[in-house]
Structure 1
Amino acid sequence: MSSNATRRMSIGDFLLRRLEEAGIQHLFGVPGDYNLTLLQQLYDTGTLKWIGTTGELTASYAADGYARLSGLGALLVTNGVGALSAINGVGGSYSEHVPVICISGSIPLRSIDRGLGMHHTMADGTFDHFLDAYAPVTVAQTRLTPRNAATEIDRLILTAWREKLPVYMELPSDIAYLDIEVPAGPLVLAEPPSDPERLHSCIAAIAKRLSAATSPAILVDADADRFGVAPELMELAERIQAPLAVVNAAKAVIDETFPQYIGIYGGKASEPQVRETIESSDCLLSIGYRPIEVTTGDFSASLPADTIHVRGHSVDVGNDNYQAVTLKEVLRAVIDAVSPVVSRARRRVAAAVAGTEVDGGSAKLKQAAYWQAIQNYLQPGDVLYVDNGTSFVLLGLKLPQNCTFIGSINWGSIGYSVGALLGALTAAPHRRHLLFLGDGSFQVTAQELSTILRHDHKPVIFLINNGGYTIERGYLGRTETYNDVANWSYADLPKVFRPDTTARSFVVKTSGDLQKALSAPNDTMIFVESIMDSQDAPAMVIASSNKGAELDYGPRGPHRRDNAQLRPAASS
């Protein structure tokens, strides 16, 4: 078939076909009158499976979680009210470099052409508000028309996939059933080929630096996962015997049992040997490095001045910048270009593990014993979710092989993990999924638990009930009521959301209670509510919050008052 061959299809059917060809099998969202035409086409064709969520915010979180395991995610919302509800999650996908396609069923094109006022608008005669609103949080935006749909649908899907960033498209409700000429051939997700000279020169420059180095090292950020190059990085590290560290946003991107893996680098927040290895390297290769305070130990990171910075589509080596090259091509060629090294002298860095011995008795459960028990519970292949709060202790646990870590590290939106859990469960229901969060985060998006139950998923949910925002108490308001939340009967919620559920719920108050919950078979959902003191928090979390307060509030801030913050001693 000629590559220029065309066929006639309705705009909606073509959009659904292209999503399927891009590897998307599920569409998350909430029905609304402006998107029902596309939703009906989805049901008529059976192209994708619809996963209705309890709100657009959680749909955007679900699409994000789905994309992290599948490569691309998509959600469907309605004009204005739905689009703005989802924008926080899409903004998170932009911050975290996750390719998500947000489709908004919008007001009829007829109404736009005639300037007719419609509901779910600002009623001011202007129809570009939401395209404008999405411009800062997406890499591309469009309003589909019969004239541009064939090209714009392909452009946005390919852009999201290539750039690993979200896109936003509006589909007017009155054009989804209109037929247009579209390409007959399938959509091919492929990077444009690198410029041959730039690629050759870039590879030669990197290989020369690595070959001459006596202490090369590799530092990995989350883009190594987004662009799928973790295998190449481990192969390169093994070939040249280079230690390999990650920033916390890239937790589990590199197999933590891999011999060259040394741990998390975050400036002064690093283990001393990790910090020394990275900062003293005479040839540091960084992958997608994006420093912010939470990934740099409050800006204490200090990479060597001549660090090689490799990004998705460009590379900096010294004063030279190489454009029109792709990350995977560069790494594959560098592996071939450098000579193997038999061994280098270095010390293995032990992973920091929270807690000490597990108390199996009747002592009141504390954070240290809790997280040590969790460490022992982990299995190869687990998918682990972290939400803002004391569950950040997961960053200090050593993960078994083939684990995936999902969190909103850069964006930091509380409640993200519940929606992301739904999305990733949908993408990989065969894996064991472990959600770790606190009561404050859970209350933002708790209703999405009902969708998880509706689809018979079997995650293990670990919720800490300690009366509110403990991580914020480390910033400010140790005992203030603004950091409190209402006390729910959390373990009862699976039964509330689905009365016929077979989920197993546990209310845990002691280490013995926790061990009983951890022994339960995971043939259905397990919900573990652990009751802990509001003043009990891991030292690493408290220290991070205390430092964050210094950055946020400065020398005159209210955090300097006596007893205004949780302090590390409070967790003893």
Structure 2
Amino acid sequence: MESKQTTGSLTQRMTIGDFLLRRLEEAGIRHLFGVPGDYNLALLQQLQDGGALEWVGNTGELTSSYAADGYARLNGLGALLVTNGVGALSALNGVAGSYAEHVPTICICGSIPLRSIDRGLGMHHTMADGNFDHFLRAYAPVTAAQVRITPRNAAVEIDRLILTAWREKLPVYMELPSDIAYLEIEVPAAPLVLAQQPSDPERLSSCIAAVAQRLAAATSPAILVDADADRFDVAPDLMELAQKLQAPVAVINAAKGVIDESFPYYAGIYAGKGSEPGVRETIESSDCVLAVGYRPIEVTTGDFTASLPAGTIHARGHAVDVGEDNYQAVTLKEVLRGVIDAVPQVTNRAPQPVAAVMPGAQADSSAKLTQAAYWQAIQGYLRPGDVVYVDNGTSFSILGLKLPPNCTFIGSINWGSIGYSVGALLGALTAAPERRHILLVGDGSFQVTAQELSTILRHDYKPVILLINNGGYTIERGYIGKTEPYNDVANWAYADLPKALHPGTTAQSFVVRTCGDLQDALETPNDNLVFVESIMDPCDAPAAITRSSNLGAELDYGPRGPQHREGLQLRSSTM
């Protein structure tokens, strides 16, 4: 490919598909998830011929979108490839989850030929109504940018969408017509550089001064962290600022693990009346809270009982609110670096006492396994550097455990799509296979995406999968339907699935019914995939989970709802 100089910059000729794949690689993406279809096969062949990216074929587009999300959380950016209509809509739920959770993914859709669009020719995987923009419009509410690539816009739009995803920490959607992947165009010769737009100098300096002044003048400053602290890579800066101010740092549950939980100034999870002990007072009595990326919903605010002090500073990725003043055209990292330099070192405030993990009473090894004993055992099983996954349900109990240093927590807290964690596990394993990955999942969530276990086994990944088999949707039983059949699921032989999905596997499977069985399983070396199926009572649930479900029923169904009917709701003994 010959390069030439045009208007001051080097360009070269490349096919559109090769240019797209080159840009993905330059953006740090090494793997592409998805499902083949006739409209995306031309690009897939270019990927195969080029060898720069590795194809990870999934069992469905939904799980490919979950995998790209999990991959992006550890890699910084992820991508998936689907086919027109049927594939795009299958992936839509997962991409919407990435939008809700602020995860940058690139959904590439191999679409119908540009020739067919120009001529109005009916094609399969469309609505057969002559309208070819349905799926661009479907993706508009759940992506930061959407485009149909053409030979005229490819060189500009491919870069724009990749940079938008990375800068905004949100997904984007691009349609690549199947008949243009092999067409040559003029493209930039220089590599794509992932960089935030520099801040407006005056806005940045004014913002830093305003934030620093308020924090320095406060007698009890505090920092509250949402997931954007991780997405914009400012957790180390926030801990440095907390250290300098000697100020406590709390997180909402969507940001579990973003702040090292052994950090001396880590306070715990803030969720209104659902906060960990002392955290609510720490935040709500503060005379200056710096809230980073805070997005309150009922799940993260203790059912709307959170109340941040008046005058809370709200910092987002590209804007900051300080009182009545709004600062645009600033980046979060530049603001925090400037504030760290500007505030004086505080020496007269003591750090938060770091809560020790209290050992529970040693369970009788022959005793029937309960939720309480299960989560106590999980606490003892965690170690520094783990990647820990949670799916909707009783697995939310992980929020009450203390994570060791350098752990990464992956969950769909805001979006709450069941089955997310299995696909995300595949994606994050692909991004960081050297780390230990622990999936905590219930039987109901697992059944939605269980087939993706076959992809994990095919790639010889070695996660630890800890599945609770208690006959259905326990968290929903706390809303309504304690014993109703709509909350039941079929009873699978879960521990047999690795061998069924991948004959000849070296995975080790266990079915545990007692505390001793569980302990023996957890002591197994993680040299291969470990699958532990824990049998528990359908009506045994952690008190915090049941209490949350009971309150959720009041919010969802109101005073006339069925939750007040005798025996219809799994009740918490602490209500």
TM-score, L = length of structure 2: 0.98
- Taking the aligned partners of 1:254 and 1:393, their CA distance within structure 2 comes to 18
Preserved contact between residue 261 and residue 402 of structure 2 (Cα < 8 Å): yes
Q: Could you say if the C-alpha distance between residues 187 and 557 of structure 1 is closer, same or farther in structure 2, counting changes exceeding 3 Å? A: same
Preserved contact between residue 450 and residue 498 of structure 1 (Cα < 8 Å): yes
Residue 347 of structure 1 deviates from its aligned partner by 5.1
* SS, match of residue 278 in structure 2: helix
2:409 matched to 1:400?
no
2:528 aligns with: 524
Select the residue among 217, 225, 236 that pairs with 1:220. 225
Preserved contact between residue 387 and residue 410 of structure 2 (Cα < 8 Å): yes
- Taking the aligned partners of 1:204 and 1:458, their CA distance within structure 2 comes to 49
Deviations, residues 73-96 of structure 1 (Å, cap 9, x unaligned): 000000000000000000000000
Deviations, residues 222-281 of structure 1 (Å, cap 9, x unaligned): 000000000000000001100000000000000000000010000000124100000010
Preserved contact between residue 356 and residue 368 of structure 1 (Cα < 8 Å): no
Amino acid at match of 1:497: L
Residue 349 of structure 1 deviates from its aligned partner by 6.0
Preserved contact between residue 293 and residue 299 of structure 1 (Cα < 8 Å): yes
Preserved contact between residue 351 and residue 397 of structure 1 (Cα < 8 Å): no
1:304 aligns with: 309
Amino acid at match of 1:53: N
Residue 570 of structure 1 deviates from its aligned partner by 9.6
- Taking the aligned partners of 2:507 and 2:159, their CA distance within structure 1 comes to 42
Amino acid at match of 1:171: L
2:194 matched to 1:195?
no
CA RMSD of aligned residues (A): 1.3
Q: Could you say if the C-alpha distance between residues 266 and 463 of structure 1 is closer, same or farther in structure 2, counting changes exceeding 3 Å? A: same
* SS, match of residue 89 in structure 2: helix
1:470 aligns with: 474
2:421 matched to 1:417?
yes
- Taking the aligned partners of 1:215 and 1:49, their CA distance within structure 2 comes to 51
Select the residue among 496, 499, 504 that pairs with 2:500. 496
Q: Could you say if the C-alpha distance between residues 560 and 349 of structure 1 is closer, same or farther in structure 2, counting changes exceeding 3 Å? A: farther
Preserved contact between residue 264 and residue 351 of structure 2 (Cα < 8 Å): no
1:83 aligns with: 88
Preserved contact between residue 246 and residue 350 of structure 2 (Cα < 8 Å): no
1:561 aligns with: 565
* SS, match of residue 289 in structure 2: strand
Deviations, residues 142-199 of structure 1 (Å, cap 9, x unaligned): 0000000000000000000000000000000000000000000000000111000000
* SS, match of residue 50 in structure 1: strand
Amino acid at match of 1:343: N
Deviations, residues 407-460 of structure 1 (Å, cap 9, x unaligned): 000000000000000000000000000000100000000000000000000000
2:129 aligns with: 124
2:456 aligns with: 452
1:58 aligns with: 63
* SS, match of residue 109 in structure 2: strand
Residue 356 of structure 1 deviates from its aligned partner by 3.1
- Taking the aligned partners of 1:76 and 1:309, their CA distance within structure 2 comes to 36
- Taking the aligned partners of 1:391 and 1:272, their CA distance within structure 2 comes to 21
1:165 aligns with: 170
Preserved contact between residue 491 and residue 507 of structure 1 (Cα < 8 Å): yes
1:244 aligns with: 249
- Taking the aligned partners of 1:303 and 1:86, their CA distance within structure 2 comes to 36
Select the residue among 119, 140, 149 that pairs with 1:144. 149
- Taking the aligned partners of 2:93 and 2:299, their CA distance within structure 1 comes to 20
Residue 343 of structure 1 deviates from its aligned partner by 3.3
Structure 1, gaps ≥5 residues long: none
2:117 aligns with: 112
* SS, match of residue 438 in structure 2: strand
* SS, match of residue 501 in structure 1: coil
* SS, match of residue 39 in structure 1: helix
2:365 aligns with: 361
- Taking the aligned partners of 1:339 and 1:54, their CA distance within structure 2 comes to 55
Select the residue among 332, 337, 340 that pairs with 2:342. 337
Amino acid at match of 1:554: G
Amino acid at match of 2:159: D
Preserved contact between residue 425 and residue 457 of structure 1 (Cα < 8 Å): yes
Residue 568 of structure 1 deviates from its aligned partner by 1.4
Q: Could you say if the C-alpha distance between residues 313 and 254 of structure 1 is closer, same or farther in structure 2, counting changes exceeding 3 Å? A: same
1:178 aligns with: 183
Calculate percent identity across the aligned residue pairs: 79
Residue 361 of structure 1 deviates from its aligned partner by 1.3
- Taking the aligned partners of 2:362 and 2:534, their CA distance within structure 1 comes to 15
- Taking the aligned partners of 1:199 and 1:130, their CA distance within structure 2 comes to 39
Preserved contact between residue 247 and residue 351 of structure 2 (Cα < 8 Å): no
1:382 aligns with: 386
Q: Could you say if the C-alpha distance between residues 54 and 570 of structure 1 is closer, same or farther in structure 2, counting changes exceeding 3 Å? A: farther
- Taking the aligned partners of 1:356 and 1:125, their CA distance within structure 2 comes to 65
- Taking the aligned partners of 1:343 and 1:157, their CA distance within structure 2 comes to 46
Preserved contact between residue 33 and residue 58 of structure 2 (Cα < 8 Å): yes
Residue 569 of structure 1 deviates from its aligned partner by 2.5
1:99 aligns with: 104
- Taking the aligned partners of 1:240 and 1:570, their CA distance within structure 2 comes to 38
Structure 2, gaps ≥5 residues long: none
Aligned residues: 570
Residue 399 of structure 1 deviates from its aligned partner by 0.5
2:542 matched to 1:538?
yes
* SS, match of residue 277 in structure 1: helix
Q: Could you say if the C-alpha distance between residues 570 and 520 of structure 1 is closer, same or farther in structure 2, counting changes exceeding 3 Å? A: farther
Amino acid at match of 1:15: L
* SS, match of residue 413 in structure 1: coil
Preserved contact between residue 104 and residue 168 of structure 1 (Cα < 8 Å): yes
- Taking the aligned partners of 1:533 and 1:480, their CA distance within structure 2 comes to 15
Residue 358 of structure 1 deviates from its aligned partner by 3.6
2:389 matched to 1:370?
no
Residue 346 of structure 1 deviates from its aligned partner by 6.1
Amino acid at match of 1:108: P
Amino acid at match of 1:88: N
- Taking the aligned partners of 1:33 and 1:204, their CA distance within structure 2 comes to 56
Residue 360 of structure 1 deviates from its aligned partner by 4.5
Preserved contact between residue 243 and residue 261 of structure 1 (Cα < 8 Å): yes
Preserved contact between residue 263 and residue 351 of structure 1 (Cα < 8 Å): no
